[in-house]
Copies of this chain bind each other. A is one copy, B any other.
Amino acid sequence: MCGVVGIYSHDELITSRLTFYALYSLQHRGQESAGISVFGDYIHIHKGMGLVNEVFNEKKLNEMRGKVAVGHVRYSTTGESKIENAQPLLAKTKKGALAIAHNGNIVNYHELRSKLENKGSAFITDSDTEVIAKILSKELLKNDIADSLKNLTEMLRGSYTLVMALNDTLIGFRDPLGFKPLIVGEGDFGYVIASESCALDALGARIIRDVSPGEAVIIREGEIDFVRIANSKRKAHCVFEYIYFARPDSVIDGRCVYDVRHKIGEILAKESPVDADIVSPIPDSGTTSAIGFSKASGIEYLEALIKNRYVGRTFILPEQNARELSVQIKINVVKSNVQGKRVVLVDDSIVRGTTSRKIVDMVRMAGAKEIHFRVGSPPIISPMLLRNRYVNEGRAYSIK
Question: Which residues of A are in contact with B by a Cβ distance under 8 Å?
Answer: 17, 20-21, 24-25, 27-28, 31, 45, 51-54, 56-58, 61, 83-84, 89-94, 98, 117-118, 120-126, 130, 133-134, 136-138, 141, 198, 201-202, 204, 247-249, 251, 256, 258-259, 262, 284, 287-288, 291, 294-295, 300-303, 306, 308-310, 312, 314-316, 318-319, 325, 328-329, 332-337
Contact = CB atoms under 8 A, between A and B. Distances in A.
A291 B332 CA distance: 19
Given A93-B117, A93-B122, A124-B133, 18 more contacts: A17-B318, A27-B308, A45-B84, A51-B310, A89-B124, A91-B123, A92-B126, A93-B120, A94-B118, A98-B122, A118-B141, A122-B133, A122-B137, A262-B302, A291-B301, A295-B300, A295-B301, A301-B301
A334 B256 contact: yes
A53 B312 contact: yes
A99 to B, nearest CB: 11
Given A21-B329, A122-B93, A124-B124, A259 B51 contact: no
Given A201-B328, A300-B295, A303-B258, A25 B92 contact: no
Contacts of A130: 122, 124
Contact of A329 (B25, B122, B301): B25
A294 B301 contact: yes
A50 to B, nearest CB: 11
A24 B137 CA distance: 39
Contacts of A303: 248, 258, 287-288, 291
B138 A31 contact: no
15 contacts: A20-B316, A21-B325, A25-B329, A25-B332, A31-B310, A45-B84, A53-B312, A53-B316, A54-B314, A91-B122, A124-B124, A202-B329, A249-B306, A251-B335, A288-B303
Contacts of A126: 92
B302 A334 contact: no
Contacts of A315: 53
A20 B317 CA distance: 11
A130 B249 CA distance: 44
A136 B120 CA distance: 9
A249 B124 contact: no
Contacts of A259: 336
